[in-house]
Amino acid sequence: MARAFVETTVLVDALLKRRSDTGIKAIEALRRFETTELPVYAIKEFQSGPLKNFAWFHNKLATTKSFAAAVTALQKMAMTPRRYTVATALEGLREAAEGFGSIPVGKLVERYGTSAKTDSVLCDMFRLSIKVNMVRAWAKRRSICTSTVHPLSCYSEDSTLRQDNDLLVVDSSPCRGAVECCLAGVLRIRQDESRTLRDVVLTQSKKAENERRARTLRSLYRTPKRPITADMCRDLGDAYFAMFAPADSVILSTNLRDIEPLASALGKKVERP
């Protein structure tokens, strides 16, 4: 197909994992299509998920000033429900390591001095590399595809990523204080699609995000007059891409397990990079 509708996972791989096999495959896949359309919804997910998780680990390095201490904090996080934060932070570590893995030892001595401790040197190198990767990724978010589509009037990208002393701050409340989600009008006239997608979600794994997605989809066709909140918009997740992808496009995603059944139910195709 000549037209791709780009899902969040591909955006993340192309922007934050450029040196990895998945990042290279994502970039190559985007080049295969004549038209690649990036919905702003994917940018919103990119901000509130991976970008924020990268910032979390960067800030651990900045505040502890110790690579060992930051990794210990990451290990503790792995024992909590926030597994996505851990997985994304590990991706940041791997990408950073590949970025400076070929630096000659002499250069490190020249920069940090002969008495510098390995722990502090590693901390500083990883922190700076993650920061550069984040800033570059956010700056390129709208240029990675041929066009950015489906604007969200109640979502603002202003001041999303900013620096506060040594810390990187990612806005945790990207939606403006609108009375209702800007997608409300469109979603209310897609009740049949909402019902179809909910039926599919109910057959998928019983993870928390699917339970929230099923509740939101049910609300769209059972109580259409109910205000559609920012949380409901967020909980649509994979269903958004299945619902809003143009019929003549292919949804480009690495998450075929969750998205392909949803898209197939609406007669749409999904492809992995």
- The confidence score (pLDDT) of residue 125 equals 85
- The confidence score (pLDDT) of residue 99 equals 64
CA distances for 66 relative to 35, 61, 82, 101, 118, angstroms: 45, 6, 22, 19, 9
Answer yes or no: is pLDDT of 174 > 70. Answer: no
Grade residue 102 by pLDDT with cuts at 50, 70 and 90.
low
- The confidence score (pLDDT) of residue 117 equals 80
- The confidence score (pLDDT) of residue 150 equals 95
Question: In this prediction, what percent of the chain has a pLDDT beyond 70?
Answer: 91
Cα distance between residue 49 and residue 241, in whole Å: 17
- The confidence score (pLDDT) of residue 115 equals 58
Number of structural domains found in the chain: 1
Mean pLDDT of the region 195-216: 93
- Cβ count within 10 A of residue 177: 7
Grade residue 89 by pLDDT with cuts at 50, 70 and 90.
confident
Grade residue 173 by pLDDT with cuts at 50, 70 and 90.
low
- The confidence score (pLDDT) of residue 177 equals 63
- The confidence score (pLDDT) of residue 80 equals 75
Answer yes or no: is pLDDT of 269 > 90. Answer: yes
Mean pLDDT of the region 19-28: 92
Name the least confident of 72-86, 110-124, 191-205.
Answer: 110-124
pLDDT digits (tens, 9 = 90+) for 69-86: 988 888 888 777 777 777
**Mean of pLDDT over the chain:** 88
- The confidence score (pLDDT) of residue 1 equals 58
The helix (H) or strand (E) run that includes residue 124 is helix 118-140
pLDDT digits (tens, 9 = 90+) for 123-141: 888 888 889 999 999 999 9
Answer yes or no: is pLDDT of 60 > 70. Answer: yes
Residue 231, domain extent: 3-271
Residue 123 near residue 66, CB atoms below 8 Å: yes
Mean pLDDT of the region 25-40: 96
Q: Determine the Cα angle at 41 with ends 40 and 46, to 5°.
A: 95
Answer yes or no: is pLDDT of 156 > 70. Answer: yes
pLDDT digits (tens, 9 = 90+) for 226-240: 888 888 999 999 999
Answer yes or no: is pLDDT of 172 > 80. Answer: no
Residue 237 near residue 197, CB atoms below 8 Å: no
Residue reference for tokens 């920061």: 131
Specify the pTM.
Answer: 0.90
What number of CA atoms fall less than 13 Å from residue 256's CA on the CB side?
A: 8
